Structure 1
């Protein structure tokens, strides 16, 4: 069974408004509106496998990379108008809370090779 029962299934199109919860089983590129005046933001999942995910975010002139491996591991990326920040470690796969000043990206690994990806906009 799919460890990640994502609200939006595998539909990357659900992310274009900056809010989604999808299951990712292979490398994928997602486009959505970023924090800086709705600038185009690209999230590229480059590696996904059992208990592993790596991704890169490009928003305006910002570049950010996240990666996690191991059971229950994940990364949070906060995209702000003038920069971004990452934190990786043990995460539960529940939806992160919206932040008033940032777009939040959360990626959590799955034992079956299905990663759960959340994008939460203010």
Structure 2
């Protein structure tokens, strides 16, 4: 993706989730995730950086940092949705949404 966007999808147990990508630029990405029971924000700046947010029925958690050179997609997790946002040198962001 190359610009801010809003994505709606069903999270764990079918609840509505909104993912707002708020910033996209060279080596930069920021987003906010909202569901009825939780909110989470993530942002990463710099080459090879990214964030992972894990949504579960009872809440969410996230971590940000280096994602390595291969930028591998995260593995599915039981009863969870995993979101990974990775910075791109060319002003793009790579976004993966994986349901378990």
TM-score in terms of structure 1 length: 0.78
Q: Does 1:106 align with 2:84?
A: yes
Compute the displacement of 1:59 (Å): 1.2
Can you give the 5+ residue segments of structure 1 that lack an aligned partner in the other structure? 1-23
Map of 1:95 onto structure 2: 73
TM-score in terms of structure 2 length: 0.94
Compute the displacement of 1:109 (Å): 0.2
Judge which range, 95-104 or 41-50, deviates more.
95-104
1:77-120 CA-partner distances (Å, limit 9, x unpaired)? 00011110000000142211000131100000000011000000
Q: Does 1:72 align with 2:48?
A: yes
Provide the C-alpha distance between the structure 1 equivalents of 2:79 and 2:16, rounded to a whole number of angstroms.
Answer: 17
1:45-103 CA-partner distances (Å, limit 9, x unpaired)? 00010000000000113110000000000000000111100000001422110001311
Provide the C-alpha distance between the structure 1 equivalents of 2:22 and 2:39, rounded to a whole number of angstroms.
Answer: 14
Q: How does 1:1-122 map to 2 (within 5 A)?
A: 24-35=1-12, 37-92=13-68, 93-122=71-100
Map of 1:17 onto structure 2: none
Greater fraction strand: 2
